Amino acid sequence: MNSIDVKSIDDKVSKFIEERDWDQFHSIKNLVMALSVEASELVEIFQWSSEEVSNQVNDDEKLKQKVSEEIADIFIYLMRIAKKSGIDIEKSCLDKVEANSQKYPVSKSKGSSKKYTEL
C-alpha cells in the first residue's frame, strides 16, 4: 500500500466543504451517521456475492471502481470525524494494534478466528 498524504486529502476536503458552507451540517453525530450509510453501501456491493467474487475485486474494473468510491467516502467521513473529535487516526490505529497484540497473542490466536475472550 502506498503512503497516504492525509494532510493533502484533508486540505482538499476542507476546501470543498468550506466552499459549499457545509460544515454547519457536519456535527459528529451527522458524520457518524453518514459513515454508517457509506459503510452499508460498501456492504451492499458484496451482499449477494460469493467469497470468491469478493476476493476478485482487482480483476473486475467496474466492481473495483464501485468499491473505490465507497472506500473514499468512508475514509473522508472517518477523517472528518477524527478531526472534529481531536483524534489522531495514526496514533489511534497504532495503539489499537498494540492493544490487539496483547488480546491476541500469536501463541493462542494464530490460525484461529475465536474472539480473545474464547482463547
**Alpha carbon of 110 to those of 51, 98, 116: distances in Å?**
22, 16, 12
Report the distance separating Cα 18 and Cα 66, nearest Å. 27
Structural domains of the chain in order of their starting residue, each with its CATH number:
6-87 (1.10.287.1080), 90-119 (no CATH)
pTM (2 decimals)?
A: 0.89
Of 51, 50, 45, 43, whose CA–CA distance to 65 is shortest?
A: 45
Q: What is the pLDDT of residues 25-62, one digit of tens each?
A: 999 999 999 999 999 999 999 999 999 999 999 999 99
Name, in order, each residue with C-beta under 8 angstroms of 25's C-beta and a sequence gap of 6 or more: none
